[in-house]
Amino acid sequence: MKEKVILAYSGGLDTTALIPWLKETFDYDVICCCIDCGQGNELDGLQERAQMSGAAKLYIEDIVDEFAEDFIMPCVQAGAVYEHKYLLGTSMARPGIAKRLVEVARKEGATAICHGATGKGNDQIRFELSIKALAPDLKIIAPWRMTDVWTMQSREDEYEFVKAHGIDLPFDLSHSYSRDRNLWHISHEGLELENPANEPNYENLLVLSTTPEKAPDEGEYVTMTFEKGVPVSVNGEAMKVADIIKKLNELGGKHGIGIIDIVENRVVGMKSRGVYETPGGTILMEAHQQLEELCLDRETLEMKKKLGSQMAQVVYEGKWFTPLCDALRAFVSSTQQYVTGEVKFKLYKGNIMRAGTTSPYSLYSESLASFTTGDMYDHHDATGFITLFGLPLKVRAMRLQEVKQNQK
């Protein structure tokens, strides 16, 4: 009986070429596994394409809800943003995909998992660290690093290889941005984006969004409610998290929200340039932050800011299934107990403008914050506070004065 390999399959050029290559190179039975994280119509025609390419079987595994609740929301609650801009759309999805690949491998009795990530990218690290953490006994096949047996050097080479094997693809190479799409975002790399001096061709590039210039001339108000840091409704309609993100994608895309063009630092040491569309995610992150500002005390917010940055780094580097990530998520989860309330904002030409926040756990006191004196605050108390708060500064300044006097 032949050994089985689980191929992380998207139906794109790279993973389609891998099916006949794995059979010819290793004599494997190739079991394709496409993990549905919300790619939409990208899943159309996969069964026929995998069969035509020689796959023994195809799994299409729906993890949309798991992705939203178990991977996206911990990052939203942490405020995890990589290098100030990137909302981790691809990074968050990879551990969920790897987890399901391992589950299918166990079900099929496979001995290996294969992925099509290149040797220059982050995804090879994310997939492989997750697989090592969950199934250290499984072999990992990364063809783009196996230059002794993987002879294709470009997408053009892969295209010719696929054609030579009689496999028809529903696309050509003329508009071949390298894209990754899921429930949270879509990323774009390649073509004119490879040169940071070039302006993105947004007319040809955008999938989820319109540019702010083409967004409606009238703003749109949106209301969201949260319970313990988790969104539960949009505009009064109760929905599960995945459906809330879909709704926010629709609203944000319409108003040109969440389009970013960044040069980021990859784990492997190089800089890469990409354009990310994250309309719903940008709104959700902002709405959650808006509510937290009302409900969390100063010191907790400060610590969350520091650990949120570290969480982003951990997730970006593929270290989801690690003790550190578990500990970070546990801290963040503990901060969300009272992040409950309603957030209102207006979407207008790429902007999210706040329009009011309420919470039964609000720490904001109008009496305290008002310029008029309230019962809880005596202005005279500030004198003693400032004296003690500024004492180190005063002692230092006095000491410097003494030294200066003695040097005369």
Task: Based on the residue annotation, tell me whether 123 is a catalytic residue of this protein.
Answer: yes
The one-letter amino acid code at 222 reads: V
Out of 36, 49, 123, 181, the active site residue is: 123
Q: What is the pLDDT of residues 168-221, one digit of tens each?
A: 887 766 657 889 999 999 999 999 999 999 999 999 999 999 999 999 999 999
Q: What superfamily in CATH does domain 4-64+87-178 come from? A: HUPs (3.40.50.620)
Phi, psi of 44 (to 5 degrees): -65, 135
Q: Indicate the CATH number for domain 185-296+338-358.
A: 3.90.1260.10
Task: Based on the residue annotation, tell me whether 29 is a catalytic residue of this protein.
Answer: no
What is the pLDDT, as a whole number, of residue 365?
86
Out of 10, 53, 94, 329, the active site residue is: 94
Banded model confidence at residue 371, pLDDT cuts 50, 70, 90: low
Out of 53, 178, 187, 209, the active site residue is: 178
Task: Based on the residue annotation, tell me whether 217 is a catalytic residue of this protein.
Answer: no
Q: What are the residue boundaries of the structural domains of the chain, listed by start?
A: 4-64+87-178, 185-296+338-358
The one-letter amino acid code at 377 reads: Y
Task: Based on the residue annotation, tell me whether 148 is a catalytic residue of this protein.
Answer: no
Summarize the chain as % helix, strand, coil (round to 5). 45, 20, 35
259: nearest Cα among 210, 198, 190: 210
Q: What is the pLDDT of residues 18-36, one digit of tens each?
A: 999 999 999 999 999 999 9
SS3 304: helix
From residue 382, alpha-carbon distances to 284, 379, 385, 386, 387 in Å are: 38, 6, 5, 6, 8
Q: State what percent of residues in the chain have pLDDT above 70.
A: 97
30: nearest Cα among 117, 100, 112: 112
